Amino acid sequence: MAPVVRALARHRGVQSVVCVTAQHRQMLDQVLELFDITPDIDLNLMTANQGVGDFAATALAAINRVLDDVRPDVVLVQGDTTTASMGALAAFYRRIPVGHIEAGLRTNDPENPFPEEINRRLADVVSRYHFAPTRASADALRREGYRAKSIHVTGNTVVDALQFMVAHTKGVALPAAKPGEKLVVVTSHRREAFGEPLRRICQALLDVSAKRRDVRFVYPVHLNPNVRGPVHELLGNHPRIELIEPLAYDAFVRLMSQAALIVTDSGGIQEEAPALGVPVVIIRDKTERGEAVAAGAARLAGTTTAGIVRAVLAELKRTRRVKRNVFGDGRASDRIVKILVAGRRR
């Protein structure tokens, strides 16, 4: 959303109000600082051991109060977080038009990813503007019966953010592969991976390391204890698997750009890596970003140890860089603002 905030600020005919829930406090603050954004309203809603349902209820009530005070003409939400779905629903209850950025992504499985598949569907249902990142996501919306005039293919704003960060990031010290080694970056944080699936992922990294001694894994480990505990237990003493703390966005962008391969269950990284020319192994059973797989920029590995090992080894044998980015050209934010302003004038 940061590039959209910046694009709105450049337009004289728009007054924007930035409201954050602080669903991920530490990561949020890093990104706000990097993009030089100061929220107008910081709800700071997170509490220790907060369940999804508890957070959803708290967010809906808090955002509802914000809308009573601000009375906006349009509410923009981005992606598939609980914040996005509750923000969209609160606006709908106030009969305020909603614009959903990153609309139309689908796995068609309510349990995978959980709860994101339902979050984004809910946001789409109540939105007037569907800002679809690709033709495939726009086609998904049309198949579900959304009006053609509500659907706008803009590209994904994540590419805008990535290009901004590449241009402004310099001099960040990072882990690096030794001469003759291939650097593979790993991330895993999804709720459906907690427990046995995460242990299978860790075992796959150990198996690849045994087969390919020229590979160095760098794994920024998510702060969630459901991730940190098993990862450090299983991988903590391996000489070629480097576990590090989560990185600020600028540092992580630089790390990705230096990688030979990225292994991830992240949705955003499935888009960022191709934009950087880096292939991806997706350690999930399903992906809502099939465009990257179809373009040869990503490989869907599943969550079995054997499947992940096969996919990683196959990608490591390929020496090519990704040449086609299917998720945008870096101008999605300007397109979104132009559409909103034109709609307001009508």
Question: Is 189 tagged catalytic?
Answer: yes
Question: Is 80 tagged catalytic?
Answer: yes
DSSP state of 149: G
Domain with CATH 3.40.50.2000 in the chain: 2-156+329-345, 182-317
Give the pLDDT of residue 141. 98
Give the pLDDT of residue 341. 92
| Protein fold of 182-317 | Rossmann fold (3.40.50)
Choice among 6, 80, 212, 285 that is catalytic: 80
Please report which confidence band the pLDDT of residue 168 belongs to, taking 50, 70 and 90 as the band edges.
confident
Q: Is the pLDDT of residue 287 over 60?
A: yes
Q: Is the pLDDT of residue 215 over 70?
A: yes
Report residue 84 as tokens.
């996005």
Q: Does domain 2-156+329-345 have CATH number 3.40.50.2000?
A: yes
Choice among 6, 100, 189, 216 that is catalytic: 189
Please report which confidence band the pLDDT of residue 225 belongs to, taking 50, 70 and 90 as the band edges.
confident
| For range 215-243, the mean pLDDT | 90
| For range 281-299, the mean pLDDT | 93
Give the pLDDT of residue 346. 56
The answer to pTM > 0.85 is yes
Choice among 6, 100, 102, 117 that is catalytic: 102
What is the Cα–Cα distance from 240 to 247, expressed in whole angstroms? 19
Please report which confidence band the pLDDT of residue 345 belongs to, taking 50, 70 and 90 as the band edges.
low
Q: What is the DSSP string of 42-82?
A: E-----TT--HHHHHHHHHHHHHHHHHHH--S-EEEETTSH
pLDDT above 90 coverage of the chain, percent: 73
Choice among 6, 100, 106, 116 that is catalytic: 116
Mean pLDDT of the chain: 92
Give the pLDDT of residue 12. 87
Choice among 135, 143, 168, 191 that is catalytic: 191
Give the pLDDT of residue 48. 80
Choice among 120, 222, 254, 289 that is catalytic: 222
